């Protein structure tokens, strides 16, 4: 047994202690929040701070376990030689950082977590403190930073299968040769995504990644392939989040929703079209003043002869102008006490528009207008506020047909599960682009007579950036494999929470390494920084995801 492997065993043992502490706190929270029918939402809201921290503790502990597993696989592949390989060193550093973060959250307010001083002391042993201090020592991080800087933007083995590696190579070339040369112009001029990007993506089957072959997509008919979608999204997001990396999200959500609840006729009609990118699609779920609270949707769907009439407002509907079909969640039952059980999902067809504003008029008299929302980043797709005025939707476009009425929330959740893991992949792509620029610039920029990349502080920054990037990537890959096996829904929420916040930090550090040039629009890192900020907001805002999805599920299961 090598010293490094012994170190990983020690790290895993401490992570098990962290899991036990988290589990105890979750059990205590369940007791505090018990209601007549399980956990009371109102009582749980009185513990939001602890719930939020517990969600983060669980996410970081899970990421650390996957990092340790990843390091073990690299070691088993024979890449370690006689000493610690890069992947093992990063895994150990991350485990130490995760343990330190978990300790700090509990230590700051133990009474909020239902733990006493003795239980906290048993977790935060002197042995664990030595482990964390050794791994997080500046000299260790400096040495890791030198190792990382020498790789010129790489940060460890990907450990992908042959098919995923082929897809990675093809879409990396497309991102580098087609997307990157257009990315800055699209961002600065707030342009809609041009055909120069859309056409090759369509030819390569980008829009059919989540659609089975029997419906014209490229996914196997007998099993899911989240890994292909993740790798493609990562590479395109490296080129540009707004101009390429997010193009797959909307067809991903729509196709999963139809596969979950659509009729066979709806699948046969729409999935082949979506796979070809004709029409492009958009998802209209969010409404003003409701945000991620899907159950509070108010846009009305009123039954009429031959179909439904939609009236109301949606917001943050990305790609709504260019899209030819909108997947719309609406309240089909006026009884608001039903909450999410009163929602249905509709396919609204419209013309395609390139501008920042549009007005679509139906022959029946309905009017759909859209206004693009000005944003600091994530440009290229345009996110719209939509106004539905007497919009007619035929019965055949009620997702699931008559049996689908009132089930729109569940179809939406089926789509969003894929959207969360894909958002994690988008975060990784943005981080990779920022990291590459940071390593390169650190070797070029000089301060006080030598490159800033020679200074300890910069090397520590690069070490932590590489570590968090690699852990985020392997966390996402691991969850993708779980989802391919039919599980991993909770982990998909955790990895979205973790990677999106990490992307904000990493792009900030990349910009900081660039100094004043990082703040200039002519530098791509300024775009990465602005784009990364949206990741913790869409596909489930960080707070809602932590409180209402992760913490709630963990407490329910405690």
For 303, 410, 415, 418, the CA distances from 399, given in Å and listed in that order, are 14, 11, 13, 18
What tokens does 477 get?
A: 């890959």
SS3 23: helix
Residue 392 CA: distances (Å) to CA of 307, 313, 362, 477: 7, 15, 8, 42
Contact (CB, 8 A) for 88 and 130: no
Q: Which two tokens stand for residue 199?
A: 């056409």
Count CB-CB contacts under 10 A for residue 82.
5
Burial of 352 (0-12, 13-18, 19+ CB in 10 A): middle
Please list, residue by residue across 121-160, b when 16 or more beta carbons sit within 10 angstroms of its beta carbon and e when fewer do.
eebbeeebeebbeebbeeebbbebbebbbeeeebbbbbbe
Tell me if residue 320 falls in helix, strand or coil: coil
Residue 529 corresponds to which tokens in the numbers above?
Answer: 């920084």
Torsion of CA 398, 402, 407, 412, to 10 degrees: -20
Under a CB-based contact definition with an 8 Å cutoff, are residues 409 and 329 in contact? yes
Residue pair 186/378 in contact by the 8 Å Cβ criterion: no
Dihedral pair phi/psi, residue 46, rounded to 5°? -75, -5
Distance CA 35, CA 497 (A): 28
Catalytic site includes residue 235: no
Question: Considering all CA atoms of the chain, what is the largest pairwise distance in Å, rounded to the nearest integer?
Answer: 78
Quick one: 195 exposed, middle or buried, by C-beta within 10 A (0-12, 13-18, 19+)?
Answer: exposed
DSSP readout, 118-139? HHHHHHS-HHHHHHHHHHT-HH
Token pair, residue 544, equals 């809602």
44, 69, 29, 66: which is closest to 476 by C-alpha? Answer: 66
Neighbours of 109 (CB within 10 A): 12
Q: d(Cα 483, Cα 124) in Å, to the nearest integer? A: 34
Catalytic, out of 142, 385, 539, 542: 539
Kindly list the catalytic residues: 539
């Amino acid at each position: 047994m090598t010293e490094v492997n012994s170190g990983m065993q020690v790290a895993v043992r401490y992570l098990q202690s962290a899991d036990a502490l988290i589990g105890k706190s979750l059990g205590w929270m369940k007791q505090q929040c018990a209601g007549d029918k399980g956990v009371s939402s109102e009582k749980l809201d009185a513990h939001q701070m602890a719930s939020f921290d517990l969600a983060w503790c669980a996410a970081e502990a899970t990421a650390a376990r996957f990092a340790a597993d990843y390091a073990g696989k690299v070691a088993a592949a024979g890449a370690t030689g006689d000493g610690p390989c890069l992947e093992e060193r990063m895994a150990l550093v991350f485990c130490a950082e995760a343990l330190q973060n978990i300790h700090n959250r509990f230590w700051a307010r133990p009474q909020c977590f239902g733990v006493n001083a003795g239980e906290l002391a048993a977790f935060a042993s002197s042995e664990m403190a030595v482990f964390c201090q050794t791994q997080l020592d500046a000299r260790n991080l400096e040495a890791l930073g030198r190792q990382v800087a020498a790789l010129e933007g790489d940060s460890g083995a990907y450990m992908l299968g042959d098919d995923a590696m082929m897809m990675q190579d093809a879409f990396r070339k497309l991102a580098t040769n087609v997307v990157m040369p257009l990315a800055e112009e699209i961002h600065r001029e707030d342009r809609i995504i041009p055909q120069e990007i859309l056409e090759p993506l369509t030819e390569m089957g980008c829009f059919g990644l989540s659609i089975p072959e029997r419906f014209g997509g490229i996914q196997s008919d007998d099993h899911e392939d989240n890994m292909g979608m993740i790798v493609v999204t990562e590479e395109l997001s490296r080129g540009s989040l707004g101009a390429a990396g997010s193009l797959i999200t909307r067809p991903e959500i729509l196709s999963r929703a139809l596969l979950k609840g659509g009729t066979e006729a709806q699948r046969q009609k729409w999935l082949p079209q979506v796979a070809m990118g004709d029409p492009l699609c958009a998802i209209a779920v969010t409404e003003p003043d409701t945000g991620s609270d899907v159950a509070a949707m108010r846009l009305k769907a009123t039954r009429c002869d031959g179909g439904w009439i939609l009236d109301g407002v949606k917001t943050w509907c990305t790609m709504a102008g260019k899209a030819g079909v909108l997947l719309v969640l609406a309240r089909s039952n006026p009884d608001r006490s039903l909450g999410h059980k009163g929602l249905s999902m509709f396919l609204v067809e419209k013309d395609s528009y390139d501008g920042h504003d549009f007005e679509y008029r139906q022959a029946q008299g309905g009017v759909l207008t859209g206004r693009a929302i000005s944003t600091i980043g994530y440009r290229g797709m345009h996110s719209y506020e939509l106004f539905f005025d007497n919009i007619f939707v035929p019965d055949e476009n009620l997702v699931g047909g008559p049996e689908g009425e009132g089930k729109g929330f569940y179809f939406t959740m089926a789509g969003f599960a894929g959207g969360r893991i894909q958002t994690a992949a988008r975060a990784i792509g943005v981080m990779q682009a920022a990291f590459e620029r940071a390593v390169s610039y650190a070797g070029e920029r000089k301060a006080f007579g030598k490159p800033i990349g020679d200074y300890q502080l910069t090397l520590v920054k690069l070490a932590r950036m590489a570590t968090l990037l690699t852990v985020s990537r392997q966390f996402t890959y691991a969850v993708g494999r779980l989802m391919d096996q039919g599980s991993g829904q909770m982990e998909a929420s955790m990895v979205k929470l973790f990677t999106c916040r990490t992307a904000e930090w990493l792009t900030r550090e990349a910009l900081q390494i660039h100094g004043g040039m990082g703040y200039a629009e002519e530098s791509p890192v300024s775009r990465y920084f602005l784009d990364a900020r949206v990741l913790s907001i869409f596909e489930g805002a960080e707070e809602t995801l932590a409180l209402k999805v992760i913490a709630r599920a963990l407490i329910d299961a405690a």
